[in-house]
Amino acid sequence: MASFVPTSADTLEDQRLYTRARLTEVACLDCLATVGVKKNSEHHTSIQWTAEARAHCPELSRRANGRDSHYACPRMIASIEAAVREDRIPIGAEDGY
Amino acid sequence: MSDTRYLDRGTPPERFARGWHCLGLATAFGDGRPHAVEAFGGKLVVWQDSKGEINVLDGYCRHMGGDLTQGTVKGDEIACPFHDWRWGGDGKCKAIPYARRVPLRARTQKYPVVVRNGQVLIWHDVEGSAPDLDILPPVLPGIGTDEYTDWTWEVLDVPTAHCREIIDNVVDMAHFFYIHFAFPTNFRNVFEGHMATQFMESTGRPDVDGAGYGDEGLMLKSEASYFGPSYMVNWIHVDYKGFETEVVLINCHVPTSDNSFKLQYGVCVKKPEGVDDATAEYIGKRYSETFKEGFEQDVAIWLNKAPVQNPLLCEEDGPVYQLRRWYEQFYVDRADVTAEMTDRFEFEVDTTKANEFWQEEVAENLRKKAEEESRPADEAAAASSSAMTNG
Ligand code: FES
Ligand SMILES: [Fe+2]
């Protein structure tokens, strides 16, 4: 069913670049969750979860659908920081993505 | 092959989003008359029956197309002004005063209604599904009690833009500086399921005279979540020169066509201690006016911009593509909603460099301003009139 439809094939490539490119897998040091991480700079972080990873995370599962479900899981953040320290996540953007 | 970036305007969806849409405050419909609400490419009729229930039907009579919004409430039904057919809130024709019997097929489009936090919400789904009560916006504790002021409510017409423009705001860090005159110092997004959230901390710019958020003394901590495609709750902690206020802002909209929508917003303020009710209501009104300026700043942009299906982003921008991927779930059949659209996604925007550049820009503006003010008045006037002849 047609929704917002691009009129150029390049737009599909842009969608892929911005949402999927350069994601590095990071496994949580405390649970079985593995997420896709991108860091365009030291202060930037992009975290892509899957339903499977989400189900593994005890911290996020503990929170009901309330306002606190927005906050990041501190263990996952710590795991990402550890990966950064170990140079496992390339830092820097490629032409804005 | 040219290196010029192509601006893909895309084509807007042929349908309206699935989900809960807010039509306004329940009190606005409580006078026993039919009310017309423009929505989803047509018109709806809204009325309250004798039991206090609010009913919403398609605005046009299935008999000969009479305009039900110009009809009369008779008993609990809406009576058409053309031939007096009586329609119930369940969508069935209950009576035709001049007929032996009512045709069995006399059913019209009805919209399931829930009144929540004093607001009327209706369920819209082109697939005709049952209303999903699990994804209603949350009940807001304390609102509707003496703890908070009453809702203010305003409507802004946006006649020439798709409502995705207002959704894009969720991730648009930089526009807060240029359009709303604030420094967004912290900015974070989380999308998951039917919710999309923006966290922001900001302070007003000292180089512009208070419009919207642009007031140097204004420090905001804002948490804003869309619950579905059109209804946002924005919890705002305001520190205005040391005076702290808890504000709840509802920002919602109803699409009226594939290129127009009505933006609505309402404000409640937690009554500050030691402040009487009248003053608290006044504070609520003032916040409503501040947000009005803010929304008008956005609307002015939308009415003139082009739709963009392929935004070109820089490193300081928020996750526009991921937000739109999330938004897409409301425009496809339920069976076509993919995991990617609803999977949790988090994005922390790096605001450090941007704020460094902006601080410099603002300092420079303040320096120029001070320079102009220290110049003798006639010299300044001469300079500005000669500037005008050059522009
Ligand atoms: S058109 Fe409504 S009663 Fe005839
Ligand atoms: Fe805005």
Tell me which residue range forms the domain holding A55.
23-85
Residues B313, A4: C-beta atoms closer than 8 Å: no
Structure confidence by residue, pLDDT tens digits, B220-231: 999 999 999 999
Cα A15 to middle of ligand 2, angstroms? 23
What pLDDT does residue B143 have? 95
* pLDDT higher than 60, residue B390: no
What pLDDT does residue B214 have? 67
Structure confidence by residue, pLDDT tens digits, B154-190: 999 999 999 999 999 999 999 999 999 999 999 999 9
What pLDDT does residue B301 have? 98
Adjacency order of strands within the sheet including B54-58: B35-39, B42-48, B54-58
The C-alpha angle B117, B144, B58, rounded to 5 degrees, equals: 35
What pLDDT does residue B381 have? 58
Mean pLDDT of B104-108: 97
Say if ligand 1 is within 6 A of residue B63 CB: yes
- The answer to whether domain B19-135 and domain B154-352 are alike in fold is no
Cα B71 to middle of ligand 1, angstroms? 10
Which residue from B158, B120, B290 is spatially nearest to B222, judged by alpha carbons?
Answer: B290
**More confident call, B23 vs B273:** B23
CA distances from B386 to B94, B176, B375, B383 (A): 74, 33, 16, 5
Cβ neighbours of residue B53 under 8 Å, at least 6 residues apart?
B89, B113
- The CATH class for the domain spanning B154-352 reads alpha beta
Structure confidence by residue, pLDDT tens digits, B113-136: 999 999 999 999 999 999 999 999
What pLDDT does residue B384 have? 52
Which residues in chain B are contacts of A50 at CB distance < 8 A? Answer: 339, 343
Specify if A81 maps to a domain.
yes
Q: How confident is residue A1, by pLDDT bands cut at 50, 70 and 90? A: very low
What's the predicted TM-score (pTM) here? 0.94
Q: How confident is residue A7, by pLDDT bands cut at 50, 70 and 90? A: confident
Mean pLDDT of B348-352: 97
What pLDDT does residue B378 have? 61
What pLDDT does residue A40 have? 95
Question: Which tokens sit at A44?
Answer: 């930037």
Residues A5, B10: C-beta atoms closer than 8 Å: yes
Task: Work out the mean pLDDT of chain B and round it to a whole number.
Answer: 94
Q: Please tell me the total count of domains within chain A.
A: 1
Mean pLDDT of B194-214: 87
Question: Which tokens sit at B229?
Answer: 């495609």
Which residues in chain A are contacts of B340 at CB distance < 8 A? Answer: 19
Q: How confident is residue A12, by pLDDT bands cut at 50, 70 and 90? A: very high
Contact status of A61 with chain B (Cβ, < 8 Å): no
Specify if A46 maps to a domain.
yes
Residue B118 identity (one-letter amino acid): G
What pLDDT does residue B212 have? 61
Q: How many residues does chain B have?
A: 391
Contact status of A64 with chain B (Cβ, < 8 Å): no
User: At the topology level of CATH, where does B19-135 sit?
Assistant: Rieske Iron-sulfur Protein (2.102.10)
**More confident call, B187 vs B375:** B187
Which residue from B46, B197, B226 is spatially nearest to B135, judged by alpha carbons?
Answer: B226
Structure confidence by residue, pLDDT tens digits, B38-86: 999 999 999 999 999 999 999 999 999 999 999 999 999 999 999 999 9
Best residue among B83, B87, B102 to mutate for probing ligand 1's pocket (most ligand atoms within 8 Å of CB) is B83
Specify if A90 maps to a domain.
no
Q: How confident is residue B215, by pLDDT bands cut at 50, 70 and 90? A: confident
* pLDDT higher than 80, residue B219: yes
Distance from CA of B188 to the nearest CA of A (A): 10
Residue A40: phi, psi to the nearest 5? -80, -20
Contact status of A42 with chain B (Cβ, < 8 Å): yes
* pLDDT higher than 70, residue B26: yes
Say if ligand 1 is within 6 A of residue B158 CB: no
* pLDDT higher than 80, residue B379: no
* pLDDT higher than 70, residue B87: yes
Say if ligand 1 is within 6 A of residue B85 CB: yes
Chains A & B: contacts with CB separation below 8 Å? 117
What percentage of chain B exceeds 90 in pLDDT? 90
What pLDDT does residue B388 have? 43
Spatial distance between the Cα atoms of B306 and B309, rounded to a whole number of angstroms:
10
Residues A11, B310: C-beta atoms closer than 8 Å: yes
Spatial distance between the Cα atoms of B372 and B310, rounded to a whole number of angstroms:
42
Q: Per-domain residue ranges for chain B?
A: 19-135, 154-352
Structure confidence by residue, pLDDT tens digits, A34-90: 999 999 999 999 999 999 999 999 999 998 767 887 889 999 999 999 999 999 999
| B186 DSSP assignment | E
